[in-house]
Amino acid sequence: MNDLTQTPEMLIATMGARARRAAATIAQASDVQKADALRRAAQALRDQAPAIIAANARDMDNAVANGLSPALLDRLRLDAGRVEATAAGVEQVAGLPNPLGSVIDQSVRPNGLDLRRVRVPLGVIGIIYESRPNVTADAAALCLRAGNAVILRGGSEAKESNRAIHAAIVEGIVAAGLPADVVQLVPTTDRAAVGALLKAAEFVDLIVPRGGKSLVARVQDEARVPVLAHLDGINHSYVDGAADPTMAQQLVVNAKMRRTGICGATETVLIDSAYAYAPALVRALLDAQCEVRGDEAVQAMDARVKPADEADWDTEYLDAIVSVRLVDGVGEAIAHIAAHASHHTDAIITDDPATAERFLNAVDSAIVMWNASTQFADGGEFGLGAEIGISTGRLHARGPVALEGLTTYKWIVRGTGQVRP
Amino acid sequence: MNDLTQTPEMLIATMGARARRAAATIAQASDVQKADALRRAAQALRDQAPAIIAANARDMDNAVANGLSPALLDRLRLDAGRVEATAAGVEQVAGLPNPLGSVIDQSVRPNGLDLRRVRVPLGVIGIIYESRPNVTADAAALCLRAGNAVILRGGSEAKESNRAIHAAIVEGIVAAGLPADVVQLVPTTDRAAVGALLKAAEFVDLIVPRGGKSLVARVQDEARVPVLAHLDGINHSYVDGAADPTMAQQLVVNAKMRRTGICGATETVLIDSAYAYAPALVRALLDAQCEVRGDEAVQAMDARVKPADEADWDTEYLDAIVSVRLVDGVGEAIAHIAAHASHHTDAIITDDPATAERFLNAVDSAIVMWNASTQFADGGEFGLGAEIGISTGRLHARGPVALEGLTTYKWIVRGTGQVRP
């Protein structure tokens, strides 16, 4: 397919030009045809499940030989259930509402010009990801459904799995009459190809990194193409003096401990010094097997509390560890969050609506919550369908990004011969 | 105000940190207070008109001594009428609808969580501009009205004028009880300060260059901060075979010749080979004192037509020059535009609705028009109020960008104690 002796820049330029042509074609394809392509891709994934699982077994053998950690091995592993879940995910994207063609707003000017902003595809999207091979299918499905071409660059440890999944996706796309180049997989795991992709502003409209912090940091640092991503989820749950103690305990334990490794997990709990049930809350976290690192007041509540140092307020643990601090009311909570949050998801727990609204208004994060667990920070939980990622950037799309974030708009002006005076 | 012995990076970091603090304050200010600040700024501009005009006279003296062109001198010049127009523009921005706080969409999840996307300020905006001193007031007004802090960096030739206008704006802001740092002016015309501003992603959320092509190209090339801009307006008017000849002639002459120096001017006219009135159209352009550069078929229509070479199809003349080419129907017009347009504004002239819709759908430009002059590509003409610029980028905002483009959104989630299962 590609001559691997060429430079990474030549490879990406060739793929980019193909993607641009494919993007122009798919932008004109009907919604029925795009959904059909995804349903056929899902079927191809099912049909080719044995080949995909065999390819994955080769990746797993290499990964074991290379001493990958059990957590990474689990992310890499595919079995019949996971391939079926991947196919079902592609089908689910096919069933989402068409994100294109809707009129965002319309006006008729005094001179009779009819102006509409209409949703259109974004263009060409680059996805850079690590060990989970299902991203090959998930990301391709979302990009295609929104009328875009996509260039996928998966991790070297999953290269056989990614190739097999990509082949199935392309089979579905071609069977539906769309160009194979709508979904391209970078055929080399040379890291220089990532660098070239990150700089290919001529060919790529948006880069979405999917993976750990070091990947996202590299992408944000090197990219000359716009990036949609979040680096950290340093999220806060603030328990106000007017919080219901039962609700507060349930929410805080859920926000921290339901799954500690997801970006929506709470990392710091701020407790109003006027909240009378702070010791019980801290004990509930400790009893849930969470390590608590507290300021002096929190340390005094239970002997198991460890001292927090300054770095703790800026740490995303992604583990059963939480930093806890007493603050002097919602104002100090807002100030702490402004200084330390990654502006991903921050919550207040209170029965006082005025205090809640003050917090929701003043905290400048992608997601702000009142009396809810920060673990709800997820496109699926938000009813958006599958998400391509969560953005802590401020432009274009913020928070969970699904199909709409993979679109843009154009202005359509309809006249009857108006000239500008 | 600032120690000019510090490095440009230190200067921008200091100004950026101040802007971040001011942005947090103005984000919480009421709409009434922001509009009041702008009305007071307009009044201060009027009160200080003599000082502003005196400062401008110093800039003009320098500019004449430095041999600036008559066109640049005209851009730089301020008189009582222009200061009044600037003040009136600031007042007009004060009268626009509040762009903040509106609910973009809302949903209630099956678990009862209430989700809303609400418009909030973008944060800190950097404006880099050239000789027109009124941009100091215009850009400051738009950024402030949308709840943002702004760092202005004007051209060295206008430095005295910019300082005087900035002083008046700050007087209005402070009189309304808002921090002076909401609108900061970079106090040095050292070009290295521009470089530092373009890389200050920690402090600046968006850069808007306002000026000529070389400025925009430099900004797009060097920036690590997102940029909202257009480099070129290589715009097309396509005259279909089914166009009304009177309408076509009026529209094409207006689109090209009304003002040749604006970004919405048509630069290339594509004429359907089935259009019977092509020679009359070409003659109308020539008779309007427009130089016509045509392909061989167009050259055969009138002896005054000069030959077009390949570069003409990719040239933004910004002058009384037009390239004209015969094409084989709307399909070839769409293909020519895809190959040569800057994706700013492209129009079709036809009486056939099906052909028009095909064009409007297939042409991937920020603005597509049917039976209207491309010179309408303007935020004011679109009813948006004053515009901060026109974007040919695909993310965040496309086409004319006014107050909405200077905002983002956040997700506000209201619950009643929901934990994630």
Q: Does A257 touch chain B (CB under 8 A)?
A: no
Residue B365 located in a structural domain: yes
Half-sphere exposure of A413 (CA within 13 A, CB side): 33
Shared-domain flag, residues A213 and A343:
no
Render pLDDT for B35-71 as a digit per residue (tens, 0 to 9): 999 999 999 999 999 999 999 999 999 999 999 999 8
Please give the structure tokens belonging to residue A217.
């940091």
- CA A304 from chain centre, in angstroms, equals 35
In contact, A127 and A166? CB cutoff 8 Å: no
Q: How far apart are CA B43 and CA B88, in angstroms?
A: 9
Paired strand residues for B411: A367, B117
Q: Which domain holds residue A319?
A: 235-376
B20-37 burial, b at 16+ Cβ within 10 Å, e below that, comes to: bebbbebbebeeeebbbb
Residue A276 sits in a domain whose CATH number is 3.40.309.10
Shared-domain flag, residues B36 and B63:
yes
Render pLDDT for A99-123 as a digit per residue (tens, 0 to 9): 999 999 999 999 999 999 999 999 9
B269-306 burial, b at 16+ Cβ within 10 Å, e below that, comes to: bbbbeebebbeebbbbbbeeebebbbbeebbebbeebe
Residue B4 has pLDDT above 80, yes or no: no
> Which residue of B lies nearest to A383 if distances are taken between CA atoms?
B109
What pairing do the DSSP bridges indicate for beta strands A114-121 and A407-418? antiparallel
Q: How far apart are CA B379 and CA B404, in angstroms?
A: 11
Q: How far apart are CA A110 and CA A24, in angstroms?
A: 35
Q: How far apart are CA B258 and CA B374, in angstroms?
A: 10
Confidence of residue B3 (pLDDT cuts 50, 70, 90): low
In contact, A371 and A363? CB cutoff 8 Å: no
Render pLDDT for B340-391 as a digit per residue (tens, 0 to 9): 999 999 999 999 999 999 999 999 999 999 999 999 999 999 999 889 999 9
Render pLDDT for B332-350 as a digit per residue (tens, 0 to 9): 999 999 999 999 999 999 9
Shared-domain flag, residues B65 and B181:
yes
Q: Which residue, among A30, A374, A382, A394, would best test binding to B if mutated, counting the most B CBs under 10 Å from its CB? A: A394
Instruction: Tally Cβ neighbours within 10 Å of residue B380.
Output: 13
Q: Which DSSP letter does residue A320 get?
A: S
Task: Please provide the distance, in angstroms rounded to a whole number, between the alpha carbons at the two ends of chain B.
Answer: 55
Shared-domain flag, residues A38 and A93:
yes
Give the pLDDT confidence score for residue B285 in this predicted structure: 98
Q: Which of A358, A376, A394 is the last residue of a domain?
A: A376
From residue B38, alpha-carbon distances to A88, A360, B18, B138, B170 in Å are: 55, 27, 20, 10, 10
- Would you list the DSSP string of A377-411? -STTTTTS-S-SEEE-SSSS--EEE-GGGGEEEEE
Q: How far apart are CA B388 and CA B409, in angstroms?
A: 19
In contact, A164 and A51? CB cutoff 8 Å: yes
Residue B120 located in a structural domain: yes
**Helix orientation angle between B191-198 and B8-28, rounded to the nearest 10 degrees:** 50
Three-state secondary-structure class, residue B258: coil
Shared-domain flag, residues B216 and B293:
no
Paired strand residues for B13: none
> Mean pLDDT across chain B, nearest whole number?
95
Q: Could B372 and A413 be called an inter-chain contact, meaning their C-beta atoms sit closer than 8 Å?
A: yes
Those of residues 315-374 in A touching chain B at CB distance below 8 A are 338, 356, 360-362, 364-373
Q: Could B122 and A394 be called an inter-chain contact, meaning their C-beta atoms sit closer than 8 Å?
A: yes
Give the pLDDT confidence score for residue B5 in this predicted structure: 65
Those of residues 87-116 in A touching chain B at CB distance below 8 A are 107, 109, 113, 115
In contact, A403 and A145? CB cutoff 8 Å: yes
Residues 6+ apart with CB under 8 A from A153: A126, A127, A128, A129, A185, A186, A193, A194, A197
Q: Does A391 touch chain B (CB under 8 A)?
A: no
To which H or E segment does residue B400 belong?
Answer: strand B399-401
Residues 6+ apart with CB under 8 A from A235: A255, A264, A265, A266, A267, A268, A341, A342, A344, A345, A346, A347, A374, A377
Three-state secondary-structure class, residue B291: strand
Residues 6+ apart with CB under 8 A from A27: A120, A121, A147, B364
Identify the residue whose tokens are 């099912």.
A46
**Helix orientation angle between A159-175 and A31-47, rounded to the nearest 10 degrees:** 130
Q: Could A372 and B414 be called an inter-chain contact, meaning their C-beta atoms sit closer than 8 Å?
A: yes
Confidence of residue B318 (pLDDT cuts 50, 70, 90): very high
Share of chain B above pLDDT 90, in %: 93
Residue B388 located in a structural domain: no
> Which residue of A lies nearest to B343 if distances are taken between CA atoms?
A410
Shared-domain flag, residues B78 and B165:
yes
Q: Which DSSP letter does residue A150 get?
A: E
Mean pLDDT of B111-126: 98
Shared-domain flag, residues B175 and B204:
yes
Q: Which residue, among A395, A398, A408, A416, would best test binding to B if mutated, counting the most B CBs under 10 Å from its CB? A: A395
Residue A396 located in a structural domain: no
Give the pLDDT confidence score for residue A52 in this predicted structure: 98
Q: Does A243 touch chain B (CB under 8 A)?
A: no
Give the pLDDT confidence score for residue B1 in this predicted structure: 46
What pairing do the DSSP bridges indicate for beta strands B266-272 and B367-372? unpaired
Shared-domain flag, residues A277 and A250:
yes
Mean pLDDT of A153-164: 95
Shared-domain flag, residues B354 and B407:
no
Amino acid at site A292: V
Pick B396's closest partner by Cβ from A109, A367, A395.
A395
Residue A311 located in a structural domain: yes
Residue A230 has pLDDT above 90, yes or no: no
Render pLDDT for A410-420 as a digit per residue (tens, 0 to 9): 999 999 999 99
Q: How far apart are CA A291 and CA A319, in angstroms?
A: 9
Least confident of A165-179, B99-113, B219-233: B219-233
Render pLDDT for A23-52 as a digit per residue (tens, 0 to 9): 999 999 999 999 999 999 999 999 999 999
User: Maximum distance among all alpha carbons in chain A?
Assistant: 80
Residue A304 has pLDDT above 50, yes or no: yes
In contact, B165 and B52? CB cutoff 8 Å: yes
Phi, psi of A166 (to 5 degrees): -60, -40
* C-alpha dihedral sign at A377, A380, A383, A389: positive
Q: Could B420 and A381 be called an inter-chain contact, meaning their C-beta atoms sit closer than 8 Å?
A: yes
Shared-domain flag, residues A258 and A301:
yes
To which H or E segment does residue B242 belong?
Answer: none
Render pLDDT for B242-294 as a digit per residue (tens, 0 to 9): 999 999 999 999 999 999 999 999 999 999 999 999 999 999 999 999 999 99
Q: Could B411 and A370 be called an inter-chain contact, meaning their C-beta atoms sit closer than 8 Å?
A: no
- CA B125 from chain centre, in angstroms, equals 14
**CB pairs below 8 Å between A and B: how many?**
176
> Mean pLDDT across chain A, nearest whole number?
95
Residue A116 located in a structural domain: no
Q: Which of A178, A199, A228 is the last residue of a domain?
A: A228
Phi, psi of A268 (to 5 degrees): -130, 130
Q: How far apart are CA B290 and CA A83, in angstroms?
A: 64
Give the pLDDT confidence score for residue B231 in this predicted structure: 86
Give the pLDDT confidence score for residue A4 in this predicted structure: 54
Residue A149 sits in a domain whose CATH number is 3.40.605.10
Domain count, chain A: 2
In contact, A47 and A163? CB cutoff 8 Å: no
Three-state secondary-structure class, residue B212: coil
Give the pLDDT confidence score for residue A386 in this predicted structure: 83
Residues 6+ apart with CB under 8 A from A173: A37, A40, A41, A144, A179, A180, A182, A183
Q: Which residues of A touch B369 (CB under 8 A)?
A: 412-415
Q: How far apart are CA B294 and CA B282, in angstroms?
A: 9
In contact, B121 and B19? CB cutoff 8 Å: no
The H-assigned helical ranges of B99-234 are 134-145, 159-175, 191-198, 213-222
Q: Write the burial class of residue B69 (CB in 10 Å: 0-12 exposed, 13-18 middle, 19+ buried).
A: exposed
User: Which residue in A271, A269, A267 sits closest to A233, CA to CA?
Assistant: A267
Residue A40 located in a structural domain: yes
* C-alpha dihedral sign at A368, A372, A374, A376: negative
Give the pLDDT confidence score for residue B359 in this predicted structure: 98
Shared-domain flag, residues A223 and A294:
no
Please give the structure tokens belonging to residue B134.
């009124």
Residue A1 has pLDDT above 50, yes or no: no
Mean pLDDT of A196-211: 94
Shared-domain flag, residues A208 and A248:
no
Q: Which residues of B touch A336 (CB under 8 A)?
A: none
Residue A398 located in a structural domain: no
Instruction: Tally Cβ neighbours within 10 Å of residue B191.
Output: 11
Render pLDDT for A218-229 as a digit per residue (tens, 0 to 9): 998 999 999 999
Mean pLDDT of B386-407: 94
Give the pLDDT confidence score for residue A5 in this predicted structure: 66
